[in-house]
Amino acid sequence: MKIKTSITLSEETLKEVDKLSSRYGNRSILIEQAIREFLAAGEKPRRDLQDIEILNRRADVLNKEVEDVLSYLDWIPLLEFVLPVAGRNQADKKPSGKYDVVLQSPGKG
């Protein structure tokens, strides 16, 4: 349902509205769309804060779930390209059964 209303705009603003209104059909449609977008933009930060509050309240449970999931993953293939691993056959890059991570300084090794 539409309700007729009256607003007061500066002459400059009205000229800009008139320039754009042909793309939207008329002034009313343009102004209504602009107001809707303005209101939605103001709503997003509120929703974001609400989401953060929910995550913070449930952080302990969520972190335990993540730890549980991560415990099932096989991290060994990731270590192969993240850090040098001792005990690997360097010719074929196959693991030799020993997965001790060895940190090396750049340029050594």
For residue 17, the model assigns a pLDDT of 93
- % of the chain surpassing 90 pLDDT: 34
Q: Which residue has the tokens 């000229």?
A: 15
- What average pLDDT does this structure show over 96-102? 49
- How many C-beta atoms lie closer than 10 Å to residue 30's C-beta? 19
pLDDT band per the 50, 70, 90 thresholds, residue 109? very low
pLDDT band of residue 80 (cuts 50, 70, 90) is low
pTM above 0.75, yes or no: no
- Classify residue 25 as left (phi > 0), alpha (psi -120 to 50) or beta: left
The residue ranking higher by pLDDT, 98 or 58, is 58
Is the pLDDT at 101 greater than 60, yes or no?
Answer: no
Q: pLDDT per residue over 14-54, tens digit each?
A: 999 999 998 888 999 999 999 999 998 888 888 999 999 99
Report the SS3 class of residue 3.
Answer: coil
